[in-house]
Structure 1
Amino acid sequence: MEDTKKYISLDELKKHNQPGDVWISIQGKVYNVTDWIKKHPGGDVVIMNLAGQDATDAFIAYHPGTAWKYLENLFTGYHLEDYQVSEVSKDYRKLVNEFSRAGLFDKKGHLVTYCISFVVLLLGMSVYGVLYSNNFWVHMLSAALLGMCWIQAAYLGHDSGHYTIMTTKNWNKFAQVLNGNCLTGISIAWWKWTHNAHHIACNSLDYDPDLQHLPVFAVSSRFFKSLTSSFYGRELTFDGLSRFFVSYQHFTYYPVMVVARINLYVQTFLLLFSTRKVPDRALNILGILVFWTWFPYLVSCLPNWNERVLFVLVSFTVTALQHIQFTLNHFAGDVYVGAPKGNDWFEKQTAGTIDISCSSWMDWFFGGLQFQLEHHLFPRMPRTHLRKISPIIQDYCKKHNLPYRSLSFFDANVTTIKTLRTAALQARDLTTVPQNLLWEAVNTHG
């Protein structure tokens, strides 16, 4: 029987990669997602990053089986000519099918209930310590408990942002806004915008926003050429001020982590009050107002300004542990410049991620993100299963000669500081970066 299918080449597909003309291929079938991208729940950035490419592995990673039926209305009638699947991708797709049949994407156990109860307990103890004690040390302990509450609430916000931890879509949205906006003051809309882009473009210097921290940090000397951020749509200028900060970044790393939340608050406000289209903007703003009502009021209940300042500082310092963890997972990973490619999903995730090895009793502390590679490969999988699949992922990495890096928390810190120090020393080389009066004033001798 004669093949009546219509085909286009990969080169032809690549031409449809601009706003207003967006095509992608999934399992060899070509789809026009130009209109769909405007209402895509995961945002437009993730689709645009893979526009004009085969996006099968990324689609499989992020969507349940029920999502496939919605593709048919977007089908162009074309198939991708010479569609091929690498051995790595074949094995990855087999794993997804096996885990799906085993129910690992749906079985959440009682972990969510335990986590919510823990967050409520930590918050309650913190508030009680502030309101019903006059002891300085009880107040500082309350600040530490609040910091730990923020960490655990952020993990719940992260989980609900990736998969449905509640029984319905609306309850899941409630969990996102409650844990993100109301409890931590960080918009879930901002988190989704940046985090989805991070997953798709893991460790791309110009496409992954989680690596774009100039003028404070630069994990690679490639930032010294003032890359243009595809995510933010602006140049990441490496000027004299950037060089000054980056030159000492291995010393400033931990102090900056203590105040990192301030930047997240700023980023939240910049997005929510921008002209950019923000899903559930009003709900996100309402959640932020809840946070900026209860948190300042709680701080104001302390007896004097010294305790108020110390309370905020202690809570931020505890929460810095989470910010450090987030950077340990990627700062020392392999980096690249350019857009992500749809045909090397598995390879890019293994190259750009670092796991944190710990005992199972410490899983609550890391929120499942110590299994960073496993989470990146299967973002819809509840964290309760990540330890279980870790040996399987290690075997597949070994089979395909791909890196699987798992370091202790201490070793991951050492590796990250070494990465920052290497870039810092390169930034000090006056022959490779622009001159700077501030730099010269600090570093001139004799």
Structure 2
Amino acid sequence: MPPRANREELIDGPKTFRKEDIINPSKVLGIKGISDQHPWYIIVDNKVYDIKDFVSDHPGGAVILTHIGKDSTDAFYNFHPEGTIEILANYYVGDISREDIITSTEGFTQELREYKELFKKSNYFESSKLYYAQKVIHNLIIWAISVTILVKFGDNLFGVILSAAIMGLFWQQCGWLSHDFLHHQVFKNRKYNDLMGDFLGGICLGFAPTWWKDKHNTHHAAPNVHGQDPDIDTHPLLTWSEHALFDLFNPEMAKANANDFPPWFTRFMVEYQTLNYFPILGLARISWCFQSIFFVLPDGQNGKPANARMPISLTEQLSIAMHYVWYFYIFSFISSWKLMVTFFFASQVICGILLALVFALNHNGMAILTEEEAREMDFFVEQVITGRDIIALNPKLQFVVDWFCGGLNYQIEHHLFPALPRHVFHKVQPIIQTLCEKHKIPYCKTTFYGGTKDVFNRLGQVSASSRKIA
């Protein structure tokens, strides 16, 4: 596909760029951050692309903004199927100059690329349809058990709470399965994956797949990068690094954020976040449900730049509506309004804790990077040092951890190969760990207890820093 001929940069042919023109746009263009007044450059295979006009058509949404001003070669091939480079060719504007050519990284990254090709030849990226079929069926059985208990014991407090707990588990497991489909791990045809995402994520779980993609894809592109990763942008409810404290104690920033939370509330949440941790996790699902609903409404993305908004299909909107139809319908099996309220809050809170417990173990408490640090760091190294794998204390019970965490306990491997089906993670994990040890790259593998302890330690450190600064 030929590059666009009407671009200002191509009037006199493709330009030659110095790397510093791309990597340090604020230095060369005299701006800080992304500006509509300047090109939005990325580098892939030493070719420069201005993607400003492409963002609105990008299927992954605004995640692409996290790589403006970067060499995005590995990120690009990690997130896109073969052939996508032909689409990007429409936005080609020039090449990196000979003296600045970015060569194939030696060592860790080069070996990782070679292993990826080896995994392809070994058919590791070919999913087992039978595996995922039984996973979907097992999830629906969990739902049926919950509803059956509610039908038979909807007039009993214990029965209502038991049903709510099983429903929370059903939602958690649907979250892991929809995650797999929306990462396109299962089918080669992405439309089939998206339809299963609408079913498992929308109808079953009540989370909008497009909202999830917008949030989760950005997390994958910039894990634990302060100011970019939405998964750590939870201040002041939970504050994961001292970076966020500057906003709290900087008078100008505090004034700018005055409409968000009052200062007394912010300081209380930061200083006592180890005590608030589990109550906040319990409210996570309710928060995500509201975010999903607002995201799929006609004006749900008004806070985003116009060219970074993602299209919402009618199928997705209907899937969210259908979730609440069946969910509130089963309330008819409950004998009193008090038990209905009990079921509602118990199911929501239990699911929130079950989901967030695993989410927190994946990255929280690991290294937090500034945007400048992330820009200078190798893409694959960034994925490794910000992630954490979880193993069972007793190796014989590893299958329980794998099931409960939905394969996300192999978080490092998942971030290195997002399209790799979860049923082969255990095969690649020892290879990746050995490779990291060979190149002296920190590889975090711990137990569920050890990871949770690390999370609490990090929260406590930030709280202590807050008190010291105050």
**TM class by shorter-chain length?**
0.7 to 0.9
Partner of 2:264: 240
More helix by percentage: 2
Residue identity in the other structure for 1:346: F
Q: How does 1:395-414 map to 2 (within 5 A)?
A: 395-414=434-453
The equivalent position to 2:276 in structure 1, one of 246, 252, 263, is: 252
Partner of 1:337: 370
| 1:281 shift after superposition | 4.4
| 1:172 shift after superposition | 1.7
Q: How does 1:239-388 map to 2 (within 5 A)?
A: 239-273=263-297, 274=300, 275=302, 276=304, 277-319=309-351, 320-338=353-371, 340-341=374-375, 344-358=378-392, 359-362=397-400, 363-388=402-427
Deviation sequence 1:260-310 (CA, Å, 0-9, x none): 111112222332232353322433322221112221221243111332222
Query: Using the alignment, how far apart are the partners of 1:317 and 1:390 within structure 2?
Result: 33
The equivalent position to 1:84 in structure 2, one of 93, 103, 110, is: 103
Matched, 1:145 2:160: no
Query: Using the alignment, how far apart are the partners of 2:217 and 2:244 within structure 1?
Result: 22
SS in 2 for 1:350: helix
> Could you tell which deviates more after superposition, 179-188 or 299-308?
299-308
Residue identity in the other structure for 1:368: G
Partner of 2:147: 127
Matched, 1:40 2:52: no
| Structure 1 outlier segments of 4+, above 6 Å | none
Q: How does 1:6-17 map to 2 (within 5 A)?
A: 7-14=16-23, 15=25
| 1:52 shift after superposition | 2.4
Note closer, same or farther for the CA distance 1:66–1:216 as it changes in structure 2 (3 Å cut). Answer: same
SS in 1 for 2:334: coil
Partner of 1:392: 431
Query: Using the alignment, how far apart are the partners of 2:202 and 2:281 within structure 1?
Result: 20
| 1:113 shift after superposition | 0.5
The answer (yes or no) to whether the contact 2:48–2:93 under 8 Å persists in 1 is yes
SS in 1 for 2:446: strand
Deviation sequence 1:230-255 (CA, Å, 0-9, x none): xxxx9687933111011111111112
Sequence identity percentage:
28
Query: Using the alignment, how far apart are the partners of 2:176 and 2:423 within structure 1?
Result: 12
The equivalent position to 1:62 in structure 2, one of 66, 69, 79, is: 79
Query: Using the alignment, how far apart are the partners of 1:268 and 1:85 within structure 2?
Result: 40
SS in 1 for 2:48: strand
Note closer, same or farther for the CA distance 1:238–1:372 as it changes in structure 2 (3 Å cut). Answer: farther
SS in 2 for 1:21: coil
The answer (yes or no) to whether the contact 2:410–2:425 under 8 Å persists in 1 is yes
Note closer, same or farther for the CA distance 1:365–1:278 as it changes in structure 2 (3 Å cut). Answer: same
Note closer, same or farther for the CA distance 1:73–1:101 as it changes in structure 2 (3 Å cut). Answer: farther
| 1:159 shift after superposition | 0.9
Deviation sequence 1:20-69 (CA, Å, 0-9, x none): 622221122223333222211111x2221111221011112112233334
> Could you tell which deviates more after superposition, 308-317 or 191-200?
308-317
Count of matched residue positions in the alignment of Structure 1 and Structure 2: 422
Matched, 1:186 2:207: yes
Note closer, same or farther for the CA distance 1:348–1:134 as it changes in structure 2 (3 Å cut). Answer: closer
Partner of 2:122: 102
Query: Using the alignment, how far apart are the partners of 2:459 and 2:238 within structure 1?
Result: 8
Could you tell me which runs of 5 or more consecutive residues in structure 1 were left unpaired when the two chains were aligned: 229-233, 434-446
| 1:135 shift after superposition | 5.6
> Could you tell which deviates more after superposition, 75-84 or 314-323?
75-84
Query: Using the alignment, how far apart are the partners of 1:166 and 1:128 within structure 2?
Result: 32
